[in-house]
Structures are given as structure tokens and as C-alpha cells.
Amino acid sequence: MSHVCQALVITCMDFRLVDQTKKWLDEQNLCNNYDLISIAGASKEIANPSDDKNREFLLKSIGVSCNLHSASKVVLIHHSDCGAYGGQQAFFSEEEEKETHEQDMQKSAVIIKEKYPNLDILKVYAIIDKDGKIEFKEIA
């Protein structure tokens, strides 16, 4: 029996994201129909790996989702105040922080598409406000 999912979601492991990310994914009609990779920094290790083995592990995991579960889309979810990036204090401004995440998601998307050209890639930046509320913004 084959198991088919709509997407593979790569998101940060940050506990602050878990509930609201699931709710947002449900609103996108994915409703538990996705494979999930939860890792510090989300796709940061694809864009700027601390070790090439990390990038290869993640790319291999994407391949497993595609080959075993027929995932046709990858959803990359990065967020503000990410500890893997040094948190908000590592940036001069919120705009610089967001641009850094957008650049890493774009770089990750290019690398993923080179290896898996038929995948659609959705890039999402989650902004965590001071009250813990999260706003998800799709990135072009």
C-alpha cells in the first residue's frame, strides 16, 4: 500500500511555533497530510551548512518524502527571533533579520530545485510578536 502526502514541511524546532504552525498548515488545507522535518534553523543547514553532511542529510530526507510519499511540495518555514541565527539581537533591525531569512530560504529553494526539479517550494516567514502571537507571511 502506498502512502501519499501533499507536502514536506521543513520548520524550526522552536517550541513557540508548534501549535500555531499546525493551525496555519491546517488553514492551508494540508491538515496532517504532510511529512515534517523539525530542525534548528529550518532550512539554514541547506543554505549555509555548518557541515556538508548536514545539508546532504536534509536533501536525502527530502528525497525520502518525495520517493516514498510522493510529496510534490516543500514548505520552508523560518521565523523571527530564531536561536539558530543568534536571535533578534544578532541583527541591527527586524528588516535585516527578515532579509537574512528570506535569502537563506531562497538559497535553500535553489539547492532543493537543483536536486528535485519537480518540487514546488513555498517559503514562509513567521513573525513572533512580544505576546507570542505568530503571523505567517508567504515570501515570493
Q: How many domains does the chain have?
A: 1
Is 1 part of any domain?
no
Is 2 part of any domain?
no
Give me the tens of pLDDT residue by residue for the chain, a chain 140 residues long: 468 999 999 999 999 999 999 999 999 999 989 999 999 999 999 999 998 899 999 999 999 999 999 999 999 999 999 999 999 999 999 999 999 999 999 999 999 999 999 999 999 999 999 898 999 999 99
Domain that holds residue 76: 7-139
The full DSSP string for 50-114 is SSHHHHHHHHHHHHHHHHHH---EEEEEEETT-GGGT-GGGSSSHHHHHHHHHHHHHHHHHHHHH
Is 56 part of any domain?
yes
The three cell numbers locating residue 68: 516514498
Is 30 part of any domain?
yes
Question: Considering the entire predicted model, what is its pTM?
Answer: 0.95
Instruction: Give me the CATH number covering residue 109.
Output: 3.40.1050.10
Is 14 part of any domain?
yes
